[in-house]
Structure 1
Amino acid sequence: MQTPEKLILDICNPDLRENALMQLSKNTRRYGDMAPWLWYSTGTVTALIQEIISIYPYLSPHKLTPDQSTRVSNAIVLLQCIATHQDTRKLLVKANIPIYLYPFLNTTSRLRTFEFLRICSLGVIGALVKVDDTEVINFLLSTEIFPMCRHTMETGSELSKKVALFIIKSILLNKEGLKYACSTAKRFCAVTNVLGNMVGELVEQPSKEVIKLIIGCYLNLSRNPRACDALKSCFPQMLQDGTFTNYIHDDPNAQKQLEHLLLLVQGARVKQGGGGY
């Protein structure tokens, strides 16, 4: 196999790019320092962006082929590598590069070719929010990542829903993210409505991981006094009546989180601020 340095150089050569993207995307974990190589190699990030924007015309109408989807997904995986590394993640944000992935999050097609791009794009955002960084969170909020994640939670596959839920949960854990989501009744309702709908869907297609993520989102919302009070009127009954108890019975942490959440929603009253929205 060629060295990563050689493959990174090949990304800038249109004739060699496809193979380089494939080989590098398969070995992101193998090469621990690949992110700085990708970022600081002349023209490499530009070539990755060129790959991404080259398929915009094929997103609507739905003309994206499996080969196109795979090739661009490989490029996005390399952006995720950059987003994961502590020395390059903020540089990626400061250059506004995540915005180039947003068209893939706004698609409505459930075809596998589109879902693959959606999951890979969410993976980049998920990598960014794994570290609680207010600067990164503010960037994502200012570029309207919340509505795009809600859109994915409504239309995506189970895997893309999980990643979108993880992103929302992580943003709500941040002070600025929670403030954003609870600043108006409209935003609060937009979040709780989609969470409530997902709880309803779990009756037909139960998922332990989705249940745990939803509980985490509600728990983070409850950290805001107004939101906690408002949850009393919109918290899903199915999370209160034991409908999903069997799915988390072997996870003590999830059980404790749900019990704590129920105490907050059913018991504690807001002492100041008038309560609710």
Structure 2
Amino acid sequence: MEQEEREERWEERSLNLLEDSKIDQEFSEAKLKKKGRKKHKQKWMKRPTAVPEVILEFLDEDLRENALRALANFLLDRFEENPEDYFQAGLFLFFSCSTMALLLYEVVDFLKKMSSDMEITLRSTKRLANVLTLFQSIAANKEIRRQFIMTAIPNFLMPIIVEKSKFEVVEQVRPIALSVIGILCQGRDSDVIMWATRNNVVNVCHASLKTGSELTKVIAMHILEYILRDTYGRSFICDPNRAILESLVDTWNQMVVALTDDRDLSPRLLFHVLRCYVLLCVHPRGLSLMVTSLPSEISGNAVADISEEFPAIQSLRCQLLNIGTEYTPTKTDGERYIER
């Protein structure tokens, strides 16, 4: 019970902040009935001047930790209740004096702990999670999204996502760090997608698929889908001069095999793998590889059984099983369920 609630809480701070994560939540609710919890309300934060006042407290090292926590909790509440406040806070954070430098300092301080033998405590991971929540609000604001990537601050999140650590608590912040990249990429901004491909995001997502938790893997799949939906991103992954396509497909195929062998099969992870297969078929090289390399498990009983329960999976499965016959998926087919 405690483990389930902890996983749900981290999903609220990462996956659920992606615009098209509704279907993931539906999969989770079908698999595990959510337990209701009362959110901590901070009425004083609703004052017009509260957000700027809290940001000013970042300048005081003694007040910073509590200020980070207060603003992060406020943003998580406002994301659902009043998105306008959420986006406005991103502007305050980005343009207020010294704030971005202080937030970057918090990230660098955590990275120093990861690269040394210093103990990483639950308290320090929660502090970083609060910093990442602020970055999420900046990444979600389309007015400053490009400026945010130009600061190179998102690049400092890559080691948090992929570097090994002997402390288990680090696993809790990896999906939140990855979700910042996901929120940046979900805006369908070609410049952001180009930044992602040129700054190793595809390889970071690929590494997350191999070693990350289920939540981290799902967010990584979201990012790969955003890249595949973009013409430049799709051409980048399918470029014959790079070994990305074959390597990714091999990993996805292994995931399908592992998922079908697992009695506790993850429908949302399977859904995202199938959706990436369909998106690949929009590109001639991707289609060619799908015709020859689609795992046989997709036509097997395990996937057929889960398809009966989830129509979205059934539709993608039918499209893939018809590849190479009279039917070829189109770009519209690949994006069909992304709008949900």
The TM-score, its normalising length taken from structure 2, stands at: 0.75
Shift, 1:268, TM fit: 5.7
Q: Which residue of 2 aligns with 1:147?
A: 203
Q: Which residue of 2 aligns with 1:212?
A: 271
Structure 1 contact 39–82 (Cα < 8 Å) conserved: yes
107-116 or 211-220: bigger deviation: 107-116
**RMSD of aligned alpha carbons:** 1.8
**Residue 126 (1) aligns with residue 182 (2):** yes
Shift, 1:132, TM fit: 1.1
Distance 1:240 1:111, change over 3 A: farther
The TM-score, its normalising length taken from structure 1, stands at: 0.91
Q: Which has the higher helix share?
A: 2
Please point out which of 60, 84, 95 is paired with 1:13.
60
Cα distance per residue 1:221-272 (max 9 Å; x no partner): 1111122112222211111224212223233333222211221255568xxx
Q: Where do residues 1-277 of structure 1 align in structure 2 (5 Å cutoff)?
A: 1=44, 3-28=50-75, 29-30=77-78, 31-32=85-86, 33-61=88-116, 63-109=119-165, 111-184=167-240, 186-202=243-259, 203-204=261-262, 205-265=264-324
Cα distance per residue 1:105-163 (max 9 Å; x no partner): 22234754211221111110111121211100000110011111011111011111110
Q: Tell me the matched-pair count.
A: 269
Q: What secondary structure, in the 3-state scheme, does the structure 2 residue paired with 1:228 have?
A: helix
Shift, 1:74, TM fit: 0.8
Q: What secondary structure, in the 3-state scheme, does the structure 1 residue paired with 2:126 have?
A: helix
166-175 or 86-95: bigger deviation: 86-95
Rounded to whole Å, the distance in 2 between the matches of 1:111 and 1:160 is 17
Rounded to whole Å, the distance in 1 between the matches of 2:327 and 2:137 is 43
Amino acid at match of 1:10: E
Q: What secondary structure, in the 3-state scheme, does the structure 1 residue paired with 2:302 have?
A: coil
Rounded to whole Å, the distance in 1 between the matches of 2:276 and 2:325 is 17
Cα distance per residue 1:65-103 (max 9 Å; x no partner): 211111111101100110011222222112222101011
Distance 1:265 1:148, change over 3 A: farther
Cα distance per residue 1:21-73 (max 9 Å; x no partner): 11111111423311111111111111100000012122135632211111111
Q: What secondary structure, in the 3-state scheme, does the structure 2 residue paired with 1:243 have?
A: helix
Structure 1 contact 107–114 (Cα < 8 Å) conserved: no
Structure 2 contact 194–233 (Cα < 8 Å) conserved: yes
Cα distance per residue 1:179-235 (max 9 Å; x no partner): 011002621111101111111221214111111111111111111112211222221
| Identical columns (%) | 25
Distance 1:201 1:266, change over 3 A: farther
Rounded to whole Å, the distance in 2 between the matches of 1:109 and 1:213 is 27
Bigger RCO of structures 1 and 2 (CA < 8 A, at least 6 apart): 2
Rounded to whole Å, the distance in 2 between the matches of 1:212 and 1:265 is 21
Amino acid at match of 2:202: F
